[in-house]
Amino acid sequence: MFQLVSDGGCEFTNEEAQLHKVDVVPFYVSFDEKTYLKESIDIAKDEYFRRMQEDKELFPKTSQPNPQDYVDAYRPHLEAGKDILSLTISSKLSGTHNSATLAAEMLKEEFPDRAIVVIDTLNSALGQNLILREVVKMRDAGYSLQETAEVTAKVLRTTKIYFTLDTLEYLKKGGRVGPTTALVGGILGLRPVLHLVDGEVEQLESVRGRKKVMQLMEEGIAKAVKDDKENINLCVGHILSEEDGLSLKASLEKSIGTEITTPLTEVGATIGTHTGPGALAVAYCMKYETFVS
């Protein structure tokens, strides 16, 4: 059996990581660009977002795990004679994939008989979360490292994540929208719906009003996945917006006609820094079983 490693973009809680035997290499977050804290270790996700919510001027920075962080994560498993499958957040969003790849190369000479496969999920947050869940299932079902890597490449192509924000302020701070767009969008109550396309954040549309955007997401996603409801996994996430997250999850379950078994997930800093508190997200992917005979 191989060891699974993922960066913090997978949004596994510490308990989930322990339960599913996944080593999570955390991202760093900083409020002052001097002190960098490990997400979910030195600072809890909700604490991070509460500080953002309390101080509107605050725009924290995130930093990728460095190659040494990955070396430290990989080494004990390699020493124990295990191969490694390492999933990373989209390489278009972060240099984490590069850090993980560099670490794998650094350890190659030291452990020539061991394999380290690093996969760029082209996703983040809930999308990466769902892919990792499929990989966990494959590993637990006894698939080899190579088989798992091959099927994962297919699963990640079907993985989609959509998220909506409560304010355009954080997109403005991150340079993703201009000041006029943020100002006018704020006056008009526009809620952008963003998604990842080939690993990059793109805007799908803007909708007026929180209630409306939730309704359109529910209807649109239900329409997109309904025919495949037996073959997909779906996940709903939020940032300090648990009530809306639960409401969206319940309405999606009703519209699709199936239970969403993945727990409501709290989205972390990698996406959250750009969205701010109040964001809602939905991701889905095809189950790995649809790609194996």
Positions in the binding site for another protein (CB under 8 A)? 154, 157-160, 162, 176-181, 184, 188, 190, 193, 203-208, 216-217, 220-221, 223-225, 227-228, 231-232, 284-286, 290-291
Q: Which is nearer to another protein, 48 or 291 (CB)?
A: 291
Q: Which is nearer to another protein, 72 or 228 (CB)?
A: 228
Cα separation, 23 vs 40, in Å, equals 13
Q: Which is nearer to another protein, 114 or 287 (CB)?
A: 287
Tokens 């979910």 belong to: 40
Neighbour count for residue 17 (Cβ, 10 Å): 18
Contacts of 274 (CB under 8 A, 6+ apart): 170, 171, 174, 176, 201
Amino acid at the residue 84? I
Contacts of 216 (CB under 8 A, 6+ apart): 193, 207
CB of 237 to another protein, least distance (A): 16
CB of 69 to another protein, least distance (A): 32
- Rounded to whole angstroms, the maximal C-alpha distance in the chain is 60
CB of 67 to another protein, least distance (A): 32
SS3 38: strand
Q: Which is nearer to another protein, 22 or 196 (CB)?
A: 196
Any bridge partners for residue 200, and if so which? 197
CB of 103 to another protein, least distance (A): 30
DSSP 8-state secondary structure symbol assigned to residue 129: H
SS3 266: strand
Cα separation, 29 vs 42, in Å, equals 9
CB of 19 to another protein, least distance (A): 26
Any bridge partners for residue 201, and if so which? 196
CB of 62 to another protein, least distance (A): 20
Q: Which is nearer to another protein, 140 or 219 (CB)?
A: 219
CB of 208 to another protein, least distance (A): 7
DSSP 8-state secondary structure symbol assigned to residue 169: H
Of 142, 152, 291, nearest in space to 231 by CA: 291
CB of 159 to another protein, least distance (A): 8
Q: Which is nearer to another protein, 52 or 190 (CB)?
A: 190
Q: Which is nearer to another protein, 96 or 148 (CB)?
A: 148
Q: Which is nearer to another protein, 230 or 259 (CB)?
A: 230
SS3 151: helix
Asked if 66 and 36 count as a contact pair (C-beta separation under 8 A), the reply is: no
DSSP 8-state secondary structure symbol assigned to residue 39: B
- How many residues are given for the chain? 293
